[in-house]
Structure 1
């Protein structure tokens, strides 16, 4: 499985490369990544399009960072880019974090929904790797899930854990008691540069990238959040993004359920939503033992049963809402699905 990441993970790279004497646009062009996907134009239109949601391969993002660091002879490039980034690179996930009532719930939200930013990344609370009393670890893991994938390149680690540290600082409203930092690679720049960035001791060539923090950090309250806004954001993430490991059949079913009745249910439209060719979608469904037509029929059946038995909507409206052209088509489908007409099905449900 190819690991992807939102292009926003490289936000700020173009001006950073330019400021260091390079050509940011040309660098991204070498890897066929659109500049606007990484750094949308600052003309008031950045929020009007899908640029922030463009996905690129996580391995490509890592190679871009390594190439920039080597070309510019800038060993602390990952840290420099982290200094330019904040919560906004996380898109809708940022709303969940900003409106969490405690830092612990913000960390839980990050761990649960970071797949929206990239399935290649993972953060989690762990036991302190140094077993100190009153200390816990916050793990940052960016190794991804591509076959044969090894540890992520060092610049990617520096950027990722650097942004993780900055986001916690922002959520905490300032320094949060960071005890020390573990990194899995040797220092890329002077060790003093790392100490200045993190404001604490940094230990290299450790088993994993970890922020060592006070154990009570999770219980610290946050001010200014709105639990209603958080709930809306969580619902948005749950209904608009597919968790890793979901089958293609599940993804098609979800897409159809959301769009049923809004227009013709065509495989081409669903394939575009899932970012694949219709023939590829058909092959995936066949490998899972089903077809597009079968999934569509199941979705229509479930919607029709709910609308017929739980509402008093006119059958003409039910027909339109399940994506059928004529009420007679609903009647035929109802007899096939349930063994009786829509009217009889509704009457039986009312009598129970």
Structure 2
């Protein structure tokens, strides 16, 4: 029986998508092939299904080369990846940053755990997933995690090599040779975990970003781990898949790493109908998007997984008794009233 759908903050995909856009690669097509909506990483505090995200990495590795995540990491600032980046880079050194990530990890991912061990030579970073990735997917996932850890170290003035040793799952056909120009000494892992040794001269080097307290908005971010329940993880998953096409229970079951029948049984145990949950998520998303004049009606329909604007219009009428245009007009009129009622400096008149 599944406890929660494996989920991770979608902001970790932002450097990958930015890199793809910069090279003119078909981003929306790649996301759709991995059963992810084109806007999956738009909300930095939102969540994406881990298995779908790993499939995106696998497909990119196959088309762009087995070292692609080293290349992506080389152009990545850790601040790109949302809350976990903000929290890490608020620390003075990579050592303190990685220890902070350990504390935040339960609120970042449901099935990834890391440990940081202080050693006489520096620190040892260990990344472990509670999922049965195959060898190819595990290699790409671990390579990307290592590249992000390197991005933290690169934010110092420390000279390369930034790692003294990396123990990682080999690629099933390419092995490890393609990682040595990026990470230096690389060895094949004997267990399904990533191990990185970072020398003290790097671990204790000052990060270029000034140290400070964790921003208040980051400190109050919603949690995952023990705080998330099965229904909430399903809501995240439906939201992430929405926009990749029609939302089927087969797609959601695949994201959960289970069968549609098992998923249906779990839904029944929670007295939840799958179709009702999809409808609820579509309604919430539609009303939010219709409140913005920056998104065309046709794009709202696509983001909700509808075939066209007519299908969206029918759904909105069913939910509210009004047309999408009427909903948008009311929302924009309300914003104008609030703006007029606000004086200089945002003070309410």
The 3 A distance-change label for structure 1 pair 55 and 174 is farther
Match of 2:188 in 1: 204
Cα offsets for 1:214-254 (capped at 9, x unmatched): 25655544465243xx24x2x54443322411276xx9xxx
The 3 A distance-change label for structure 1 pair 136 and 173 is closer
Which protein is bigger by CA-based radius of gyration?
Answer: 1
What is the count of residue pairs matched by the alignment?
232
The 3 A distance-change label for structure 1 pair 222 and 22 is closer
User: Map of 1:203-352 to 2, 5 A cutoff?
Assistant: 203-207=187-191, 208-215=193-200, 218-222=203-207, 224-227=209-212, 230-231=213-214, 233=215, 235-246=216-227, 283=270
Q: Which runs of 4+ in 1 moved over 4 A?
A: 14-22, 148-152, 171-174, 186-192, 215-224
Q: CA RMSD in A?
A: 3.7
Match of 2:33 in 1: 30
Tell me, what secondary structure is at the counterpart of 2:227?
Answer: coil
1:52 is displaced (CA, Å) by 2.5
Cα offsets for 1:262-315 (capped at 9, x unmatched): xxxxxxxxxxxxxxxxxx8x959xxxxxxxxxxxxxxxxxxxxxxxxxxxxxxx
Long gaps (5+) in structure 2: 233-266, 272-349
1:139 matches 2:126: yes
1:28 is displaced (CA, Å) by 0.8
Match of 1:267 in 2: none
Match of 1:62 in 2: 54
Give me the whole-angstrom Cα distance separating, in 1, the residues matched to 2:22 and 2:201: 40
Please give the TM-score of this superposition, normalised by the length of structure 2: 0.55
Long gaps (5+) in structure 1: 39-49, 252-279, 285-352
1:55 is displaced (CA, Å) by 1.7
